[in-house]
Amino acid sequence: QETGSGYTTIPDIQDGILLACASGTVNIGNGITVAAAATTWGAGTNTYNRDNTIDKSLIVQGLNNPTECANNPAFVIDAATAWGTNAARINTATFSGFTTNAPIFTLASGVNNITLRGFDFAALVKGTADAVISAPGTGVNANNNVTIENNFITTSNERFIRSTGTGAAASYHTNWNVSCNRMEALSASTESFYIELIDHTQTTIQRNYYDGTGSGGSYGLLLRGMGGPSLNTITRNVFQNTGGGENIWFGSNLSSNTVGNITVTQNRFRGGASGNIGMENPNLYTASFNVANNFLNNSPRGIYMNGATAISHQFFAINNNSFENTNTGIDYTATYSGTVSVSYTHLAGDSQ
């Protein structure tokens, strides 16, 4: 802990919220499991909550090599090879076996510089919470500089991460990093989206693994109103087997901002029930949108550009992607009479 905090031992999450200093690190000890038997665990002054509000700038982490990626860091993404776990990342700080009637971690409105890493969320049953990790701040109280990394979520049907729309144009959750998380063996769920981020800029989403087999959810990754003045990068992820819709979807519904300033590169999107990448009303996007060097396989549509109005801007660059076993590589629904340039794109096993 920071010098001067007054703590001589590692505090629990409740204590961490009440630290005298403005920032620090809260460690969740080895072998800790929060299960269905109680809403808290521990004893005396070292009692942990099942649901926690982070209202200071903190690193909250499990003491189980929390800086190690949940996924094998040596893996090079290709069209189909299985991406295994990282043997150096051991699950010993676990939330499991209860109904999530409140988020396990809520980021308090207006609090910035928060890191959540190194946890195992398992066998969670969907309750009234909007997500395991929730960021409800709006307007000037949106959360900035947030890192969510190196976590497992398995055998659960609760949404993993959700941020609320800011409610104001040109207002964003800024500088979020969602990296190296592993989402798999998911149980049947009525959740439509597994990660939902609304009104973000300067976002990095990288090295995450999502397998929606058995979940029934419509989208693995839903990004609403992602744009703003800074680049948003989605790179080197695997999202596959979404049960109801696309593996990743971009749009502006329920957000206060338009879509743009996005790069989607070096990912594998595979086996989406309706498609792999979906774009809502792409004619309304307002800045660059680059889709390059991705594997888009085993789905009815590789890229679905869903809109009734023709695109008149030149923000899109879709190049150097591989489409295999896909009925339609790029499905553009609006009538268009201009020129489309497609370069260095691999098509194999496609019907169109």
Distance CA 61, CA 193 (A): 25
Of residues 280 and 6, the one with the higher pLDDT is: 280
Q: Over the stretch 238-250, which tens digit does the pLDDT of each residue have?
A: 999 998 889 999 9
User: Distance between CA atoms of 17 and 214, rounded to whole angstroms?
Assistant: 37
What pLDDT, on the 0 to 100 scale, is given for residue 95? 85
**Is a pLDDT exceeding 90 seen at residue 337?**
no
Name the residue among 133, 217, 128, 212 with its Cα closest to residue 173. Answer: 133
Q: Share the mean pLDDT of the chain.
A: 84
Structure-model confidence comparison of residues 243 and 290, the more confident one: 290
Tens of pLDDT, residues 80-120: 999 999 999 877 678 888 888 889 899 999 999 999 999 88
197-233 pLDDT, tens digit each: 999 999 999 999 999 988 777 899 999 999 999 999 9
Task: Copy the structure tokens of residue 129.
Answer: 């919470």
Report the C-alpha gap between 94 and 154 in whole angstroms: 11
Q: Which of these, 124, 95, 258, lies nearest to 194 by C-alpha position?
A: 124
Q: How much is the pLDDT for 94?
A: 82
Pick the residue with more confidence: 187 or 119?
119
- Taking residues 163-185, report their average pLDDT: 95
Q: What is the dihedral of CA 116, 211, 128, 148, to 10 degrees?
A: 10
Is the pLDDT at 332 greater than 60? The verdict is yes
* CB-CB contact of 197 with 225 (8 Å): no
Look at residue 178 in the predicted model and tell me its pLDDT: 98
- What are the angstrom distances between the C-alpha of 131 and each of 5, 124, 197? 31, 11, 11
